[in-house]
Amino acid sequence: MFTGLVREVGTVESFDDGRLTIRAPETARGAQLGDSVAIAGVCLTVVGVDGERVSFDAVPETLSRTSLGRLAPGAGVNVEPALRAGDAMGGHYVQGHVDGVGTVRSIGELTWFDAPADLLRYVAEKGSIAVEGTSLTIAAIDDAGFAVALIPHTLAVTTLGRLAPEDEVNLETDVLAKYVERLLPS
């Protein structure tokens, strides 16, 4: 379980044969084998810790549903270790189970993202969404996507300040919306 409050921006050191190594000093300091850590919004399991570096295995299923496979050395990624008992709950419930990949449409007072149609049914104005693992509030929606208002703090402490039009982003919709849909009679 995550909150979508990014703890640090890590740097991709390498990504070879499904093994992703991130330089993330703060996270590495407290990481242990088997821990869950969200990388760009994707829940991954720690398989190695070496100094300031943490390693993960990304299986084909993960690579097919996320933008992780496009990461190259030097890329920045949002990093959030899983919640521990007693941690403050901020943001919103984030599982690290990415629903799909969206695309940055435009950047401005509102930043617009295009999203797959099957995800948009879970998007509601003033609802929650995680973009690259960052908890955000939806400011507007249209037939092709949604918009968020990004505050200067979020732009400074996450990778969202580095986005450009047409960049791909990992999206996780609000888990509560998915369960409500599942429970309603068809």
Q: Indicate the domain borders of the chain.
A: 8-81, 100-183
Q: Check residue 182 and give its pLDDT.
A: 85
Q: Check residue 178 and give its pLDDT.
A: 84
The average pLDDT across 157-176 equals 96
Helices (H), the chain: 25-30, 60-65, 117-120, 152-157, 175-183
The average pLDDT across 43-58 equals 98
Place of tokens 């986005």: 163
Q: What is the average pLDDT value for the chain, to the nearest integer?
A: 95
Q: Which of 141, 128, 58, 116 is nearest to 92 (CA)?
A: 128
pLDDT tops 90 at residue 124: yes
Q: Check residue 121 and give its pLDDT.
A: 93
Multiple choice CATH, 8-81, 3.20.20.70, 2.40.30.20, 3.90.1640.10, 1.10.3720.10: 2.40.30.20
CATH code of the region 100-183: 2.40.30.20
HSE-CB at 183 with a 13 A cutoff on CA atoms is 6
Label residue 91 by pLDDT band (50, 70, 90).
confident
Q: Are strands 100-106 and 19-23 parallel, antiparallel or unpaired?
A: unpaired
Q: Check residue 128 and give its pLDDT.
A: 95
Q: Which of 134, 130, 125 is nearest to 155 (CA)?
A: 134
Q: Check residue 69 and give its pLDDT.
A: 94
Contact 47, 56 (CB under 8 A): yes
Q: Do domains 8-81 and 100-183 have the same CATH topology?
A: yes
